[in-house]
Amino acid sequence: MGRPRKVIYGKPTKPPVEFSREYEAVLPNGKTITAGELIKIMGEYGTTFTFTSLTTNVETGVSWIECREMNKGQIGAFRAFYIDRVKKLPVRRKKRVRRTEDS
């Protein structure tokens, strides 16, 4: 048995940073996105994301969006991007039903 180690305490840390969360965001182009909508991010090719929230650091005023990465319909990694990189996905059109003539 050895001698017990001395515990050295560091300087006290700062209190945790306060964040403000909103579950709806207005994009710079004027469109509104809500939680759960599919979005695309500029510079992230071939990947879609599900919007989670718009988070703002109350102390500094910096804002970013938090979202989940989608891979083949499965939810993947949790990611965060600045709001100016967001492109909203257009709503897909429904397939047109072809009418056939009955003879």
pLDDT single digits (tens) 29-60 = 888 899 988 888 988 888 889 999 999 999 89
Residue 49 falls inside a structural domain: yes
Residue 14 falls inside a structural domain: no
Rounded CA separation 68/74 (Å): 10
Share of the chain above pLDDT 70, in %: 93
Three-state DSSP state, 78:
strand
Residue 47 falls inside a structural domain: yes
Residue 63 falls inside a structural domain: yes
Residue 70 falls inside a structural domain: yes
Residue 60 falls inside a structural domain: yes
Domains of the chain: total: 1
Mean pLDDT of 81-95: 80
| Residue 103: pLDDT over 70 | no
Full domain range(s) for residue 40: 22-84
Rounded CA separation 75/57 (Å): 26
Q: Rounded to an integer, what is the distance from CA 44 to the centroid of its chain?
A: 13
Residue-wise pLDDT tens digits, 13-28: 777 788 999 999 988 8
Instruction: Find out whether 42 and 28 touch, Cβ atoms under 8 Å.
Output: no
Residue 32 falls inside a structural domain: yes
Residue 1 falls inside a structural domain: no
pLDDT tier, 90 (very low <50, low <70, confident <90, very high otherwise):
low
* Tokens at 88, concatenated: 């909203």
